[in-house]
Structure 1
Amino acid sequence: MINHDELSKENISDTLLDLFKTFAKQDRKNRDYGVDEPLFHSEIYTLNEIREHEGIHITALAERCGVTKGAISQVLKKLEQKGLVIKEKDVRNQSRLILKVTAKGEIAYARHLEYQNQFKEKVVQVLKDAPDDKVRMIKDFLIQLEQQLDD
Protein backbone atom coordinates (compact mmCIF):
# COMPACT_ATOMS: atom_id res chain seq x y z
CA MET A 1 0.00 0.00 0.00
CA ILE A 2 1.27 3.47 -0.89
CA ASN A 3 1.79 5.92 1.94
CA HIS A 4 0.13 9.17 0.81
CA ASP A 5 2.65 11.24 2.79
CA GLU A 6 5.38 9.85 0.49
CA LEU A 7 3.46 11.12 -2.55
CA SER A 8 2.73 14.59 -1.26
CA LYS A 9 3.67 17.51 -3.47
CA GLU A 10 5.84 18.88 -0.68
CA ASN A 11 7.72 15.58 -0.53
CA ILE A 12 8.36 15.74 -4.27
CA SER A 13 9.61 19.29 -3.80
CA ASP A 14 11.96 18.15 -1.02
CA THR A 15 13.25 15.34 -3.21
CA LEU A 16 13.90 17.79 -6.05
CA LEU A 17 15.71 20.19 -3.72
CA ASP A 18 17.90 17.31 -2.55
CA LEU A 19 18.62 16.47 -6.20
CA PHE A 20 19.53 20.11 -6.91
CA LYS A 21 21.92 20.08 -3.92
CA THR A 22 23.56 16.92 -5.25
CA PHE A 23 23.94 18.54 -8.69
CA ALA A 24 25.37 21.69 -7.12
CA LYS A 25 27.89 19.63 -5.15
CA GLN A 26 28.92 17.83 -8.33
CA ASP A 27 29.16 21.15 -10.19
CA ARG A 28 31.55 22.59 -7.63
CA LYS A 29 33.96 19.68 -8.05
CA ASN A 30 36.77 20.05 -10.46
CA ARG A 31 37.00 17.14 -12.86
CA ASP A 32 39.65 15.49 -14.98
CA TYR A 33 38.93 16.06 -18.66
CA GLY A 34 42.08 14.36 -19.94
CA VAL A 35 44.21 17.53 -20.24
CA ASP A 36 46.67 17.07 -17.33
CA GLU A 37 44.88 19.44 -14.99
CA PRO A 38 41.36 19.50 -13.58
CA LEU A 39 38.74 21.94 -14.81
CA PHE A 40 35.97 23.56 -12.83
CA HIS A 41 32.39 23.60 -14.06
CA SER A 42 32.61 27.26 -15.13
CA GLU A 43 35.68 26.46 -17.21
CA ILE A 44 34.28 23.42 -19.03
CA TYR A 45 30.93 25.16 -19.52
CA THR A 46 32.69 28.14 -21.09
CA LEU A 47 34.90 25.89 -23.22
CA ASN A 48 31.79 24.04 -24.38
CA GLU A 49 30.10 27.31 -25.43
CA ILE A 50 33.20 28.40 -27.35
CA ARG A 51 33.49 25.02 -29.08
CA GLU A 52 29.83 24.96 -30.07
CA HIS A 53 29.96 28.58 -31.27
CA GLU A 54 33.40 28.64 -32.89
CA GLY A 55 34.60 32.18 -33.51
CA ILE A 56 32.32 33.74 -30.89
CA HIS A 57 33.49 37.03 -29.42
CA ILE A 58 33.78 37.84 -25.72
CA THR A 59 30.62 39.96 -25.43
CA ALA A 60 28.45 37.33 -27.10
CA LEU A 61 30.01 34.60 -24.95
CA ALA A 62 29.26 36.56 -21.78
CA GLU A 63 25.64 36.98 -22.93
CA ARG A 64 25.31 33.24 -23.73
CA CYS A 65 26.74 32.32 -20.31
CA GLY A 66 24.61 34.90 -18.49
CA VAL A 67 27.59 36.60 -16.84
CA THR A 68 29.44 39.90 -17.15
CA LYS A 69 32.31 40.49 -19.56
CA GLY A 70 34.58 40.81 -16.53
CA ALA A 71 33.54 37.39 -15.21
CA ILE A 72 33.95 35.73 -18.60
CA SER A 73 37.36 37.37 -19.01
CA GLN A 74 38.54 35.77 -15.75
CA VAL A 75 37.45 32.31 -16.91
CA LEU A 76 39.01 32.90 -20.35
CA LYS A 77 42.31 33.86 -18.72
CA LYS A 78 42.37 30.50 -16.90
CA LEU A 79 41.43 28.61 -20.09
CA GLU A 80 44.20 30.40 -22.02
CA GLN A 81 46.75 29.66 -19.29
CA LYS A 82 45.77 25.99 -19.47
CA GLY A 83 46.20 26.06 -23.25
CA LEU A 84 42.56 25.24 -24.01
CA VAL A 85 41.46 28.36 -25.91
CA ILE A 86 43.06 31.14 -27.91
CA LYS A 87 41.99 34.66 -28.78
CA GLU A 88 42.45 35.94 -32.31
CA LYS A 89 41.69 39.27 -34.00
CA ASP A 90 38.42 39.19 -35.88
CA VAL A 91 39.28 39.74 -39.55
CA ARG A 92 35.94 41.52 -40.05
CA ASN A 93 36.34 43.78 -37.01
CA GLN A 94 39.95 44.36 -35.95
CA SER A 95 38.87 45.85 -32.60
CA ARG A 96 37.19 42.60 -31.59
CA LEU A 97 38.70 39.30 -30.48
CA ILE A 98 37.19 35.95 -31.39
CA LEU A 99 37.66 32.76 -29.41
CA LYS A 100 38.72 29.33 -30.60
CA VAL A 101 39.33 25.99 -28.93
CA THR A 102 42.85 24.53 -29.19
CA ALA A 103 43.67 20.87 -29.87
CA LYS A 104 44.04 20.39 -26.12
CA GLY A 105 40.65 22.07 -25.66
CA GLU A 106 39.14 19.61 -28.15
CA ILE A 107 40.26 16.76 -25.86
CA ALA A 108 38.53 18.35 -22.86
CA TYR A 109 35.41 19.00 -24.96
CA ALA A 110 35.28 15.36 -26.10
CA ARG A 111 35.68 14.12 -22.51
CA HIS A 112 32.93 16.51 -21.42
CA LEU A 113 30.62 14.94 -24.02
CA GLU A 114 31.53 11.51 -22.61
CA TYR A 115 30.48 12.66 -19.11
CA GLN A 116 27.20 13.97 -20.52
CA ASN A 117 26.58 10.64 -22.25
CA GLN A 118 27.27 8.79 -18.99
CA PHE A 119 24.62 10.93 -17.30
CA LYS A 120 22.16 10.19 -20.11
CA GLU A 121 22.83 6.47 -19.66
CA LYS A 122 22.06 6.77 -15.93
CA VAL A 123 18.73 8.45 -16.68
CA VAL A 124 17.87 5.81 -19.28
CA GLN A 125 18.77 3.08 -16.79
CA VAL A 126 16.54 4.57 -14.09
CA LEU A 127 13.62 4.89 -16.55
CA LYS A 128 14.20 1.65 -18.48
CA ASP A 129 11.07 -0.10 -17.19
CA ALA A 130 8.83 2.96 -17.00
CA PRO A 131 5.88 3.03 -19.40
CA ASP A 132 5.92 5.72 -22.09
CA ASP A 133 3.05 7.71 -20.55
CA LYS A 134 4.94 7.97 -17.23
CA VAL A 135 8.13 9.05 -19.00
CA ARG A 136 6.17 11.66 -20.95
CA MET A 137 4.62 12.94 -17.69
CA ILE A 138 8.06 13.23 -16.06
CA LYS A 139 9.45 15.07 -19.09
CA ASP A 140 6.46 17.44 -19.20
CA PHE A 141 6.84 18.08 -15.46
CA LEU A 142 10.55 18.88 -15.81
CA ILE A 143 9.95 21.19 -18.78
CA GLN A 144 7.22 23.07 -16.90
CA LEU A 145 9.37 23.31 -13.78
CA GLU A 146 12.28 24.70 -15.80
CA GLN A 147 9.96 27.30 -17.34
CA GLN A 148 8.72 28.28 -13.88
CA LEU A 149 12.29 28.63 -12.61
CA ASP A 150 13.26 30.79 -15.63
CA ASP A 151 10.48 33.30 -14.89
Structure 2
Amino acid sequence: MMNNDELSKEKISNILLDVFKTFSKLDRKNRDYGVDEPLFHSEIYTLNEIREHEGIHITALAERCGVTKGAISQVLKKLEQKGLVTKEKDVRNQSRLILKVTPKGEIAYAHHLDYQNQFKQMIAEVLGDAPDDKVLYIKEFLIKLENQLGK
Protein backbone atom coordinates (compact mmCIF):
# COMPACT_ATOMS: atom_id res chain seq x y z
CA MET A 1 0.00 0.00 0.00
CA MET A 2 1.24 3.48 -0.90
CA ASN A 3 1.68 6.13 1.72
CA ASN A 4 0.48 9.71 1.13
CA ASP A 5 3.96 10.84 0.07
CA GLU A 6 4.20 8.15 -2.63
CA LEU A 7 0.64 8.86 -3.76
CA SER A 8 1.28 12.58 -4.18
CA LYS A 9 4.52 11.88 -6.10
CA GLU A 10 2.60 9.55 -8.42
CA LYS A 11 -0.04 12.25 -8.94
CA ILE A 12 2.69 14.78 -9.75
CA SER A 13 4.17 12.33 -12.25
CA ASN A 14 0.77 11.88 -13.92
CA ILE A 15 0.14 15.62 -14.04
CA LEU A 16 3.59 16.21 -15.52
CA LEU A 17 2.98 13.57 -18.20
CA ASP A 18 -0.30 15.30 -19.05
CA VAL A 19 1.51 18.65 -19.29
CA PHE A 20 4.10 17.08 -21.64
CA LYS A 21 1.34 15.64 -23.84
CA THR A 22 -0.52 18.95 -24.01
CA PHE A 23 2.66 20.90 -24.73
CA SER A 24 3.70 18.41 -27.40
CA LYS A 25 0.34 18.75 -29.15
CA LEU A 26 0.57 22.54 -29.08
CA ASP A 27 4.22 22.61 -30.14
CA ARG A 28 3.67 20.22 -33.06
CA LYS A 29 0.76 22.21 -34.50
CA ASN A 30 1.69 24.01 -37.67
CA ARG A 31 1.33 27.75 -37.22
CA ASP A 32 1.25 30.82 -39.39
CA TYR A 33 4.33 32.77 -38.40
CA GLY A 34 3.28 35.89 -40.30
CA VAL A 35 4.27 34.53 -43.72
CA ASP A 36 0.77 33.56 -44.95
CA GLU A 37 1.40 29.83 -44.91
CA PRO A 38 1.70 27.44 -42.00
CA LEU A 39 5.06 26.13 -40.88
CA PHE A 40 5.56 22.78 -39.22
CA HIS A 41 7.56 22.39 -36.02
CA SER A 42 10.54 20.96 -37.91
CA GLU A 43 10.51 23.90 -40.32
CA ILE A 44 10.45 26.69 -37.73
CA TYR A 45 12.99 24.83 -35.58
CA THR A 46 15.34 24.51 -38.58
CA LEU A 47 14.77 28.14 -39.60
CA ASN A 48 15.57 29.19 -36.04
CA GLU A 49 18.86 27.25 -36.09
CA ILE A 50 19.85 28.79 -39.44
CA ARG A 51 18.99 32.29 -38.22
CA GLU A 52 20.92 31.89 -34.98
CA HIS A 53 23.93 30.35 -36.81
CA GLU A 54 23.97 32.48 -39.97
CA GLY A 55 26.07 30.96 -42.72
CA ILE A 56 25.88 27.43 -41.27
CA HIS A 57 26.36 24.59 -43.75
CA ILE A 58 24.07 21.58 -44.18
CA THR A 59 26.24 19.03 -42.33
CA ALA A 60 26.63 21.28 -39.27
CA LEU A 61 22.91 22.08 -39.31
CA ALA A 62 22.02 18.38 -39.38
CA GLU A 63 24.34 17.81 -36.41
CA ARG A 64 22.80 20.74 -34.47
CA CYS A 65 19.28 19.42 -35.15
CA GLY A 66 20.22 15.82 -34.36
CA VAL A 67 19.02 14.47 -37.70
CA THR A 68 20.56 13.06 -40.87
CA LYS A 69 21.70 15.21 -43.79
CA GLY A 70 18.91 13.62 -45.84
CA ALA A 71 16.27 14.66 -43.31
CA ILE A 72 17.61 18.21 -43.07
CA SER A 73 17.73 18.45 -46.87
CA GLN A 74 14.00 17.64 -47.06
CA VAL A 75 13.16 20.38 -44.55
CA LEU A 76 15.46 22.83 -46.36
CA LYS A 77 13.71 22.08 -49.66
CA LYS A 78 10.38 23.07 -48.09
CA LEU A 79 11.87 26.20 -46.53
CA GLU A 80 13.37 27.20 -49.89
CA GLN A 81 10.05 26.59 -51.68
CA LYS A 82 8.34 28.83 -49.13
CA GLY A 83 10.99 31.52 -49.73
CA LEU A 84 12.32 31.46 -46.17
CA VAL A 85 15.95 30.37 -46.70
CA THR A 86 18.54 30.37 -49.46
CA LYS A 87 21.54 28.18 -50.19
CA GLU A 88 24.71 29.83 -51.45
CA LYS A 89 28.12 28.49 -52.38
CA ASP A 90 30.64 28.94 -49.59
CA VAL A 91 33.31 31.28 -50.94
CA ARG A 92 35.94 29.50 -48.81
CA ASN A 93 34.85 26.00 -49.88
CA GLN A 94 33.09 25.82 -53.26
CA SER A 95 31.86 22.26 -52.63
CA ARG A 96 29.87 23.38 -49.61
CA LEU A 97 26.61 25.32 -49.41
CA ILE A 98 25.89 27.82 -46.67
CA LEU A 99 22.39 28.67 -45.52
CA LYS A 100 20.87 32.09 -44.99
CA VAL A 101 17.47 33.36 -43.89
CA THR A 102 15.58 35.55 -46.39
CA PRO A 103 13.67 38.71 -45.39
CA LYS A 104 10.48 36.58 -45.38
CA GLY A 105 12.31 34.10 -43.13
CA GLU A 106 13.18 36.97 -40.78
CA ILE A 107 9.46 37.67 -40.38
CA ALA A 108 8.79 34.03 -39.44
CA TYR A 109 11.76 34.10 -37.03
CA ALA A 110 10.44 37.28 -35.34
CA HIS A 111 6.99 35.69 -34.94
CA HIS A 112 8.63 32.58 -33.49
CA LEU A 113 10.42 34.74 -30.91
CA ASP A 114 7.08 36.39 -30.08
CA TYR A 115 5.55 32.95 -29.55
CA GLN A 116 8.43 31.98 -27.23
CA ASN A 117 8.03 35.25 -25.30
CA GLN A 118 4.30 34.57 -24.88
CA PHE A 119 5.20 31.19 -23.39
CA LYS A 120 7.70 32.82 -21.00
CA GLN A 121 5.03 35.33 -19.98
CA MET A 122 2.56 32.51 -19.32
CA ILE A 123 5.09 30.77 -17.05
CA ALA A 124 5.68 34.03 -15.17
CA GLU A 125 1.93 34.42 -14.69
CA VAL A 126 1.51 30.82 -13.48
CA LEU A 127 4.34 31.29 -10.98
CA GLY A 128 2.74 34.57 -9.95
CA ASP A 129 4.08 35.81 -6.65
CA ALA A 130 5.46 32.47 -5.50
CA PRO A 131 8.26 32.85 -2.96
CA ASP A 132 11.81 32.72 -4.35
CA ASP A 133 12.64 29.49 -2.52
CA LYS A 134 9.72 27.68 -4.17
CA VAL A 135 10.59 29.05 -7.61
CA LEU A 136 14.20 27.91 -7.07
CA TYR A 137 12.97 24.45 -6.06
CA ILE A 138 10.86 24.16 -9.22
CA LYS A 139 13.80 25.32 -11.33
CA GLU A 140 16.13 22.75 -9.74
CA PHE A 141 13.50 20.03 -10.13
CA LEU A 142 13.08 20.79 -13.84
CA ILE A 143 16.86 20.86 -14.42
CA LYS A 144 17.25 17.49 -12.69
CA LEU A 145 14.35 16.07 -14.71
CA GLU A 146 15.83 17.32 -17.98
CA ASN A 147 19.19 15.77 -17.06
CA GLN A 148 17.49 12.43 -16.29
CA LEU A 149 15.58 12.54 -19.58
CA GLY A 150 18.80 13.28 -21.46
CA LYS A 151 20.59 10.17 -20.15
TM-score bucket of the superposed structures, by smaller chain? over 0.9
**1:89 paired residue number:** 89
Normalised to the residue count of structure 2, the TM-score between the two structures is 0.95
**1:100 paired residue number:** 100
**1:42 paired residue number:** 42
Task: Spell out, residue by residue over 1:89-136, the C-alpha distance to the aligned partner (whole angstroms, 9 max, x if none).
Answer: 001110000000000000000000000000000000011121000000
Normalised to the residue count of structure 1, the TM-score between the two structures is 0.95
**2:51 paired residue number:** 51
Identity of aligned residues (%): 84
The answer for unaligned runs of 5 or more in structure 2 is: none
C-alpha distance in 2, partners of 1:80/1:70?
Answer: 15
Residue 20, structure 1, aligned to residue 20, structure 2: yes
C-alpha distance in 2, partners of 1:7/1:22?
Answer: 23
**2:125 paired residue number:** 125
SS in 1 for 2:12: helix
Residue 132 and residue 82 in structure 1: after superposition, are their counterparts in 2 closer, same or farther (change >3 A)? same
C-alpha distance in 2, partners of 1:126/1:106?
Answer: 30
Shift in Å at residue 8 of structure 1? 1.6
C-alpha distance in 2, partners of 1:11/1:142?
Answer: 16
The number of equivalent residue pairs is 148
Shift in Å at residue 137 of structure 1? 0.3
Q: Is the 8 A contact 1:5 1:11 kept in 2?
A: no
Greater mean alpha carbon deviation, residues 75-84 or residues 17-26: 17-26
Task: Spell out, residue by residue over 1:13-64, the C-alpha distance to the aligned partner (whole angstroms, 9 max, x if none).
Answer: 1111101101111122110100010101100000000000000000000000
Shift in Å at residue 10 of structure 1? 1.2
The answer for unaligned runs of 5 or more in structure 1 is: none
Residue 76, structure 1, aligned to residue 76, structure 2: yes
C-alpha distance in 2, partners of 1:131/1:87?
Answer: 49
